[in-house]
Structure formats: C-alpha cells, structure tokens
Amino acid sequence: MDNQCVPFQNSTKNKFMNAKKRPLQSEEYYKHKKFKSNKVNYKSDFNIVTLFKTELQRILINSNELNTTITDIQPYGSRISGLNISDSDVDFNINYVSKSSAKNVIKSFANKLRQSQVFIKVFPLIGAKIPIIKCTHLNTGVDCDISFNNISAVHNSHLLNHILSMDYRIKPVLIKLKIWAKNIGLINTNGFSSYSFYWLGLFIMQVLGLLPAIRDLQQSVPEVLVGQWNCAFSKKPQENIVKKQEILSENDILNTFYKYYSNFDFNKFVISPYTGYPLLKTDFENVEQLPDELWRYKQFYKENQECQKLLFLGSCPFKMYTQDPFQHNVNITARVTPKVFEKFINACAELKTKNNLSQYLTLIV
C-alpha cells in the first residue's frame, strides 16, 4: 500500500550564523499557567520579498509551457514570520495546476529562471520530500527557495508572525534559541529545522502560560482547510485570560527550555503545540485514546491506517515526536538523527550555572 501513499509537506529552513558556544544555566517551571496577551507588532520583511515576487511573476506567470497555470506566488518563511536574520533566504510557494508531471513542471520552471539571468545557481531538488528550486538572486546575492503547492507552509509562517505579536519576549527568546542551536550544530540537514526548533521554544511558552494552545486560537473562527487540516487562527487578543506571567524574564524562559527538555521523556511523550501539553505516544497507536480535540487526526487515521508512512508515528521509529500545529499527521522533528538528538539532550543538561548563562547571552545579544 505504501506505493499509493502521497508524501506530506512541511517547510524547513537551514542557514548558519557564527557565535561561540557558552554553557547556560537552566531552571524549571513545569506547572501550566493560563495565557494572557501582551500584544506587540512585528512587521514582515516585505521590501526584498516584494522585489523577488515581482521578478518571479514576470519570469514565470506568462509561461504557457506544459499546459501549466500558475494560480498564485506566495512568500513564506522567516521573512514573513518576522524571525529572519541578516542572511536569511527568501522563500516562495508557487501554486499551480498542470496536466504534466511535477518533475517536468519543476524542470520547466528551473529552465525559465536560468534563461532570465535574474536568478543564478538554479538547482532543482526534484527528489526531495518537498521538491524545491534553490537559486540566488543575481543583483542582491540573496538565496531563494521555491516550493510548489505547499500552501500549509504559508499559513504556518503567518501563524508564527501572529504569535510574535502576542508578547515582547517571544521573538528574542526564539532568536537566541536559534543562534544557540545553529552554533552547536543542532540545526542542519540531519537535525532540526529552524521551524521545528521554534516550536520547541513556543511549546515551553505554552507550558509557562505565555502562549495559548493552537486549538484555542482556532475557536470561533471559520475554517481554512488545506486538505482536511484546519489552518485558520484568530488574530484577535485572547479574552479568556486570568493572569499574565510578567515576572518571567527572557532568561527564565530559556532556563525552562533547557531544564524541561533535558528531563523530558521522549520515549513516552509527544510534544503537541496544538493541544499545548504533551501527549502519550501510545495513544497514537490506539487513536481512540487520543483527546477529542484531535478528532481530525482520528478521522485521518481511519482513512489512511493502511499507509503507515502517512500516519504520525510513521513507518519507522524516530528519536522524538513533535506534532505540526496544523497538520497533525506530521512529525516536524522526524529528520533528527540519534546523534543530533543525543547532542541536544546533552547540551540542555550541561547548562547548569547562571554565570555561564549570562556570559553566553551577552555574546549573542
């Protein structure tokens, strides 16, 4: 049955920054607290995004080769979420319909980009789980990744951008975690993506009561379905709030991250930003034991249970399981190898002293 399975899609990012490794202290806040909004504004990086989109439209939209129709070109990734750094690439999703195979369509698009001489180093990765075209914009030198019919990645980026606006501590904490993770080799093609590492950080903030569960953001708003998954979320301030955890500093949140994951039982539990709390991994083997709020996954399981690789636990065991906030069958940490996983756990466990934490943060701020 596996040869009938359609691969799922989720977005990943990989860029590297330079910083020196320093051990950090960790402390722990385990008790889940209710969330309160502290809204701030983070604008997406639109200037270069607009330039690239205009270029792509000019090069590709009017192409009638292979009877392919482009329906939309949408930016996503760190420059839309607001989590971009100086060397972040630009990501686009091209929605299209075609009677030709995806392989031929992507090759055709790649040829158009080469011929334009606007983009150089054009390299289609057709055999990847999520096929993309990697290229570089000639005039700016900025790298660009283009994916196809990957609309969920667009919704994910806008969700992250909205989450950044909820509290002033969220963005600096995520950026510090990303720099730390890249610095020690956790974020790479055999490890975490930036996207998956962000969600590890956001899950800690849900545990601390700084953020709501994604399920709460989907209440009382119309569905936006991508396949059978709801990618809608409310952009209004949350009203069901009792108390704000104002006493927690950025360092407190970082401390919690390191302590929490150094003690987390990854053999037993699944990290679920959708629910805002860990789920038992065994419940994904007997889906009727899953909480009712995961009814979409229960339905998905019934429709696809003969195609194991489409299910959340997959067709082979992984070192850790982190559920995508929208696509509940996707483990966004599936690619983390045992070596990187052990490095992550050991690095978290090593961060013991407050002095070392302060020294490290001084270096990367």
Q: What are the tens digits of pLDDT across the range 112-149?
A: 999 999 999 999 999 888 999 999 999 999 999 999 99
What's the pTM?
Answer: 0.83
Q: Please provide the DSSP assignment of 245-288 as one string.
A: -TT--HHHHHHHHHHHHHH--TTTEEB-TTTTS-EEGGGGTSGG
172 belongs to a structural domain: yes
- Provide the number of structural domains found in the chain: 2
Do residue 70 and residue 194 come from a single domain?
no
User: Residue 330 is encoded by which pair of tokens?
Assistant: 């996707």
Same domain, 258 and 133: no
Parent domain of 114:
46-152
The answer on 211 and 145 residing in a single domain is no
Task: Give the end of a domain, one of 95, 127, 152.
Answer: 152
- What is the arithmetic mean of pLDDT over 292-296? 98
Burial class (CB in 10 A: 0-12, 13-18, 19+), 255: buried
Residue 96 belongs to some domain of the structure: yes
Q: Do 113 and 186 fall within a single domain?
A: no
Residues contacting residue 109 through CB under 8 Å, at least 6 positions apart:
60, 63, 94, 124, 133, 146
**What pLDDT, in 10s, does the model give residues 147-170?**
999 999 999 999 999 999 999 999
**Domain co-membership, 103 together with 194:** no
Question: Looking at 152, 178, 196, which one is the last position of a domain?
Answer: 152
In terms of domains, do 35 and 87 share one?
Answer: no
